[in-house]
Structure 1
């Protein structure tokens, strides 16, 4: 009897240990899902942080590209609108309390309220006018004898220069390029000019023993020219 009781106790004790082992394993098994659930938020946060960084980098790159393109476009527009980059100015007293600056582009000549550019390149009348327009000017318009005298003092006698006077229809209806009315009493034609209806454009040239004057010539002739623009006030 005694040995049977001892065996029963031993068996009971072994059963208890085994149960303890199983309980511990079960506890670990139940604890495992908790560890897995705890790591998921960390992974999610890391993924969101990475996504946010990628979006921020992409936005920064897009902003840099946009800024470069905008700067280039702005520079092109600014350059296109900027015709004269260097001016030469003189003071003009308006009143005793007010002073203004009269400016002309560099290498232009100033007279009264206008600036003049004397071209040394030969071109047709229309090409010459187009060149003046690109410089925010037009071919020379002569309104007074003083202006005529100023211009011819700055010209070379062995060259001829287109001015902004033409007869588009060949009917002797002379027109200035800036729509200034043509004044017969303020003209400086050479003797015998204008001479032919097919010669519809006007230039100023020098004739020996006669001096400077106007002459009508074909518009396709290639001559030098004079551009004119209003002075710039600052």
Structure 2
């Protein structure tokens, strides 16, 4: 899902959009080079002007089994929030949440 500061869905591509990718499962400390590690999860952020579907496909090509991130726990949200604060000009972010009935 791409949210702006007011949490409204934005469904158009923009150069400020960023995709947040996460592999399906990796043992702790075995993240691909340059990815952020949090327990058994790995994350990377890419600044590209992509639609949600393009961002999902881009993630699939970054590492085996990777996909747009699914924030499943409060700890995931806290970890990523702290990481995003260091990117203070990053306002828009794609994650695995979608309003599509069938994800592409």
TM norm structure 2? 0.61
**Aligned equivalent of 2:68:** 139
Partner Cα separation in structure 2 for residue 125 and residue 101 of structure 1? 28
Name 1:165's counterpart in structure 2: 97
Q: How many residues align?
A: 72
Structure 2's unaligned 5+ residue stretches are 1-26
Deviations 1:183-233 (A, max 9, x none): xxxxxxxxxxxxxxxxxxxxxxxxxxxxxxxxxxxxxxxxxxxxxxxxxxx
Q: What is the CA-CA distance between 1:102 and the residue it aligns to?
A: 3.0
4+ runs deviating over 6 angstroms: none
SS in 2 for 1:142: coil
- TM-score, normalization by structure 1: 0.29
Does residue 115 of structure 1 match 2:32? Answer: no
**Backbone CA RMSD of aligned residues:** 2.1
1:8-44, Cα deviation, whole Å (9 max, x unpaired): xxxxxxxxxxxxxxxxxxxxxxxxxxxxxxxxxxxxx
**What SS is found at the alignment partner of 1:116?**
strand
Higher relative contact order (CA 8 A, sep 6+): 2
Match of 1:128 in 2: 55
Q: Give SS of 1:162's match.
A: coil
Cα deviations by residue, 1:84-120 (Å, 9 ceiling, x for unpaired):
xxxxxxxxxxxxxxxx873111110000101101112
2-structure distance, mates of 1:107, 1:122: 21
> Is the helix fraction higher in 1 or 2?
1
